[in-house]
Amino acid sequence: MTTDAVVLDGITKRFPGVIANDNIMLRVADGEIHAICGENGAGKSTLMKILYGMQPADEGTMHVHGELVNFDSPSDAINKGIGMVHQHFMLADQLTVLENVILGAEPGGKLIDFDTARTKFAELSAAYGLDVDPDTLVENLEVGERQRVEIIKVLFRGANVLILDEPTSVLVPDEVDELFRSLRELKAQGKTIIFIDHKLQEVLEISDSITVIRRGKTIKTVPAESVTAHELAELMIGSELPTPDTRDSTVTDRVVLDLVNLTVIDENDRPSLNHVSLTIHAGEIVGIAGVEGNGQSELVDAIIGTHVAASGTIALNGQSIDGWNVRKRREAGIGYVPQDRHVEGLLLSSPLWENAALGHQTKAPYSKGIWIDKDGAHEQTETIRVDFDVRTPSVDVAAHALSGGNQQKLIIGREMTAHPKLLIAAHPTRGIDVGAQAAVWDAIRDARAAGLAVLLISADLDELIGLSDTLQVIYHGDLVAELDPAKVTSRELGSYMTGAALTKEATS
């Protein structure tokens, strides 16, 4: 007889002007992988925060393994066997893997029993196929390895129910395969997994059951084998699954961005970007594929002006911008969608109209002379709200009140309405749902057709292949391969990104 690991009944959570969860019903069977799908702002994260004790419900009840529970903190949830792996990893880079795993749960108290911790770590690693060196500094780990550390960390604390929030968002296909093998092993040994993901094909591949949430309400729970990705998308957003495919060429012969032998030196006097040359034309999207930490961030920083290149040249529309500061580059027509909207893209406590002005506050309609034009900023932000479907009751709402997808659409709208000549888009759809993805893709495609040059950096390989006119692979700071997006598969692209295909070519 199947028992329930988690039952949420009538969960309701209200915020000022918003009902985030509205009588949510969720039943997760013991020992299953249960996916939760829905648009950004549908209420998934709020629901999981309630289950993990990060915030209380206003109404409703929770049962864990048949016991009525009421969590006041994550510690309460952990004590009942619930662990959460967040989308943004909670690891200390300067500590070892083992130190991160035991941090806050040190065996032996003040006198840490490292031998016991090491033994338990080894047992967990072996039992669930989570291979990682306990003595390596976290800063030296690949993304997939960091994720394994996070999973071991919650298992170390005795979790029987694991919540995984967007676990594949930064993984290449081989790393996704490794993660799914580990999840299946966890399931085989009796663990229950709640899996939040926007990649519907992955949801269907790994899940036993799927619950769809729309606008704070439970829409339906279905067995994974009984539904298709298109049907899931329709349940989530009321339309078919969008794709990023772009095949009609709009590439011109006019060069917008020209990089020649660009080299960036890191704080350890080592090249993080090594003699990179790259050209982007008007109407062209150039995609950069690479495992995180291979020079993508340094490339973006050098172009936008937040890091000074050690050597090489950068030209925008035939004019050298070497030595220009960020403001001058932005005013010359460089648009920027940063990879972390919370850290670089938004002032979360500020209203939307102030966020819409960021980076463009020196020009109309956001300013008049040296003064901010509040009325003009309000009007322009309202235009962005309507044209880019930013769902908010008012442009005076603080940015933190918006869902991730709506925050991202605000940033895209901010950059596009400034009519840039070059758009640097770093992970433009990371962590947003299929509906918001479609809006971002449409905005980029429309601007490309109008002559915009785009540098696209993404961990979503289908997005890179679908949107790009040209694909470049970056590996250890070098551009090592140029691939045809019309011919390459995501698995082949992933092989180049990890260096496996390069090794094979070198030995053949």
Give the CATH number of the domain where residue 39 resides.
3.40.50.300
Token pair of 11, please?
């969960």
Within this chain, do residues 215 and 93 fall inside the same structural domain, yes or no?
yes
Identify the domain containing residue 223 by its residue range.
4-237
Q: Are 207 and 307 in a shared domain?
A: no
Q: What is the mean pLDDT of residues 461-487?
A: 92
CA nearest neighbour of 287 among 173, 176, 175, 427? 427
Cβ count near 239 (within 10 Å): 12
- Give phi and psi for 271, each to the nearest 5: -75, 120
Look at residue 391 and tell me whether its pLDDT is greater than 90: no
223 and 367 part of one domain: no
505 — pLDDT class (breaks 50, 70, 90): low
Query: 172 lies in a domain?
Result: yes
- Residues 66, 172, single domain; the answer is yes
Count the domains in the chain.
2
Alpha helices, DSSP H, located in 207-324: 229-237, 296-304
Mean pLDDT over all residues of the chain?
A: 89
In a domain, 12, yes or no: yes
Task: Calculate mean pLDDT across residues 396-403.
Answer: 89
Mean pLDDT, range 362-388, rounded to an integer: 91
Does position 238 have pLDDT exceeding 70, yes or no?
no
Please compute, for residue 436, the number of CA atoms within 13 A of its CA located in the half-sphere on the CB side.
27
Of the given ranges (124-128, 201-205, 267-271, 298-302), which has the lowest mean pLDDT?
267-271
pLDDT of residue 170 exceeding 80: no
- Is the domain of 264 the same as that of 207? no
Tokens of 295: 């020079």
Q: Looking at the structure, do residues 122 and 50 belong to the same domain, yes or no? A: yes
- Point out the least confidently predicted range of 23-32, 251-260, 266-275: 266-275
Q: Are 205 and 180 in contact (CB under 8 A)?
A: yes
Task: Based on the fold, state whether residues 375 and 227 are members of the same structural domain.
Answer: no
Please count the other Cβ atoms lying within 10 Å of the Cβ belonging to residue 186: 23
Q: Are residues 324 and 467 in the same domain?
A: yes
If asked whether residues 174 and 74 sit together in one domain, one would say: yes
Paired with 15 in beta bridges are 18
Q: Final residue of a domain: which of 237, 267, 282?
A: 237
pLDDT at 139: 86
pLDDT band for position 242 (cuts 50, 70, 90): low
Out of 48-52, 318-322, 501-505, which region has the weakest mean confidence (pLDDT)? 501-505
Long-range contacts of 300-304, Cβ-Cβ distance < 8 Å, separation of 24 or more? 300/336, 300/339, 300/424, 300/426, 300/455, 300/457, 301/264, 302/262, 302/264, 302/273, 303/257, 303/259, 303/329, 303/334, 303/424, 303/455, 304/329, 304/330, 304/334, 304/336, 304/424
Lowest mean pLDDT among 78-92, 164-178, 352-366, 441-455: 164-178
User: Would the pLDDT of 260 be above 80?
Assistant: yes
Q: What is the pLDDT of residues 41-79, one digit of tens each?
A: 788 888 999 999 999 999 999 999 999 999 999 999 999
Q: SS3 of 213, please?
A: strand
pLDDT reading at 148 higher than 70: yes
